[in-house]
Amino acid sequence: MTLQFAQQTTDALPLHVVGADDLDSFIETLTPAHAAWVRASVFSGAIGQSLVLPGADGAPAGALVGYGTSANRARGRFALAAAVPALPPLTFALAGGIPAEMLEQETLGWLLTGYRFDRYKSQASLGAQLVAPEGVDAARVEVLANAEALTRTLINTPAADMGPAQLENAARELADAHGASIDVTLGEALLEQNFPMIHAVGRAAEQEPRLIDMRWGDSGPTLTLVGKGVCFDTGGLNLKPGSSMGLMKKDMGGSATVLGLAQIIMASGWQVRLRVLIPAVENNVSGNSFRPGDILTARNGMTVEINNTDAEGRLVLADALAYGAEETPDLMLTMATLTGAARVAVGPDIAPFYTDDAALAQALMAAGPKMADPVWQMPFHEPYEPMIEPGIADLDNAPSGGFAGSITAALFLRRFAGAGRYAHFDIYGWNPTPQPARPKGGVQQGARALFMALHKVLDL
């Protein structure tokens, strides 16, 4: 699926975006016939409303969509996109009503309404098309939209069709499309090449665990993205209940997000040396599953006591982080659907992040609203370090007590990230209720904010 603007055409119908407070003054600009039509309708300018204007021959001559009030718009994102599903499948050109500083965000929302996860459906529906407005960088908006489409599709695909092998194939397709190189360490080779925790978590599954290593670019600062690729998480021997297992196809949402971010970076032609590391596993149950009470030794030599096999994401990320840190990149990031504690703290809509880098944190907090990609900084609270230090190993993968679960997970990962600049995102990767431009299902979080922030902090 490719999300793109319609070609410029003289047949495009004018689309008037009308705020609730501006409806009366807008009606005065219309022809008497159209003014009477609007007054006779129930159109009030509310977000999500649309009204087709008839021409003299009865065919559509244009349309209105509601933009609500500023207070309404502050309570959500992509106000323009809310009305797109109600428009007829025609081509439109904006005829005003959206502030210049919101054009890119709103037109991105329009493109995202065109996303369909239709792999398992026999028919695909077509929606209204939009000509790129003047002043919008159409290529940039299309890059952002299609990167999100990639992330959504990877997350939405059931684990039967998106195991470690299929995730590897997706990474290879992305690498091929942009001239990147890729190397994969598979199965028993993980032990031979010192990735013991990736192997331990994934060894019980039918598909072999693997570490995917993609590289692109030969100049500029070094940027390493590490994404959690747990393609399905049963919980291991600490088996999840059925109610908690239903969404576990999304437990590779971190890897899907870093692949989406990598697509944005490569398609934008950044002068950067990009590396993407994805430990791809299934946390399954078999006779050789790793067990509660086991002590694993990570790539960097630290030992980890396993107090819950359902806290496996931090284990596979630890080996990948330690590997990435060996090259001391200018910046390293982790993306992971890591903890339920993060959802309790900020809900499903906000991506919390951790970093000690003040410049990066400031850039991310500024970028979130501009890119319609809400993020929020959480603390690496060092007084909680003892919580991840058990009595018989260096680290505990699942501290008891239940407090500060997202923070302790972030502190755990930081132990493997080396001394360089580092940030960690604890994302949800799923939209639980339909919203404008965001259907229920897999969703990209943090990537657009990072795209804007990284451009600044890496001085690109």
**HSE, side-chain direction, 13 A CA sphere, residue 185:** 20
> Any catalytic annotation for residue 249?
no
For 326-382, list the strands marked E by DSSP: 331-336, 351-355, 375-378
Instruction: Enter the tokens of residue 21.
Output: 């407070």
H or E element, residue 357:
none
Taking the C-alpha atoms of residue 264 and residue 73, their distance in angstroms, rounded to an integer, is 27
Taking the C-alpha atoms of residue 230 and residue 163, their distance in angstroms, rounded to an integer, is 9
> Any catalytic annotation for residue 75?
no
Active-site residue, selected from the candidate residues 314, 414, 421, 438:
314
Q: List the Cα angle 142/149/161 in 5-degree steps.
A: 150
Burial of residue 420, with CB atoms counted within 10 A of its CB: 0-12 exposed, 13-18 middle, 19 or more buried: middle
Contact 47, 85 (CB under 8 A): no
Pairing assessment for the beta strands 422-426 and 395-396 based on DSSP bridges: unpaired
Active-site residue, selected from the candidate residues 73, 116, 240, 456:
240
Taking the C-alpha atoms of residue 419 and residue 368, their distance in angstroms, rounded to an integer, is 26
User: What does DSSP assign to residue 433?
Assistant: S
At 373, phi and psi to the nearest 5?
Answer: -140, 80
Taking the C-alpha atoms of residue 231 and residue 250, their distance in angstroms, rounded to an integer, is 7
User: What does DSSP assign to residue 131?
Assistant: B
Active site amino acids? 240, 314
